[in-house]
Amino acid sequence: MSAQLTQPSKRQTRFAKFAGLAALLVVVGLLLIAVPSVFAKAETSTQTVHNETETFVDTFPCDSGTLAEITITYNGVFHETENENGTHFTFTQTGTFEAIVAGDPASPYTGKFTIWGGSNDNRQSEADTFTFTVHLEGSDGSVQTAHITEHFNVSANGEVNTFSKLNCS
């Protein structure tokens, strides 16, 4: 038995052309929506500093009751990338310091420190982490090292998580 092929009617031909055109328009529309986010131009900035000096009053990480006038000299790099989907930020500072505590026989304290921080956020979530390490020596020979890690994040469903951890030695 052989099958007979019949020519489509004009109505079927117009419908097929219309369906093909509609499918093409849907594909083009999806590309117009998806492609810009894939090829979104990211804006970046980087700042590098050398031998920056700052003076401020703060406490020692492992002795939160003692105020000190602290002068730091550091190098640092700060970098940010931003596009329509979110932001990435990171920085590092490392340097030396002198801390003066009024009436403290071990004062002045001197030493080295490093700070790092990073942040990522998008339309659904955010995560931020920071670390701080300091090694200080008193003029009397006393030594102290501290490391702090702090983290904060918000999940896509709005749940907030944080922690802060301090290690002293």
Q: Are 144 and 169 in contact (CB under 8 A)?
A: yes
What are the angstrom distances between the C-alpha of 151 and each of 49, 109, 158, 161, 168?
25, 28, 16, 8, 18
At 88 the pLDDT is 95
> Which of 16-30, 53-67, 73-87 tops mean pLDDT?
73-87
Beta strands in 101-159 (DSSP E): 109-122, 126-138, 143-154
At 132 the pLDDT is 96
| 73, pLDDT greater than 50 | yes
Contacts of 83 (CB under 8 A, 6+ apart): 40, 41, 42, 43
Taking residues 112-133, what's their average pLDDT?
95
**82 three-class SS:** strand
Q: Are 99 and 69 in contact (CB under 8 A)?
A: yes
Band of pLDDT at residue 5, cut at 50, 70 and 90: very low
pTM of the model: 0.72
Q: Are 44 and 59 in contact (CB under 8 A)?
A: no
| 35, pLDDT greater than 90 | no
Band of pLDDT at residue 136, cut at 50, 70 and 90: very high
Pairwise CA distance, residues 29 & 21, whole Å: 12
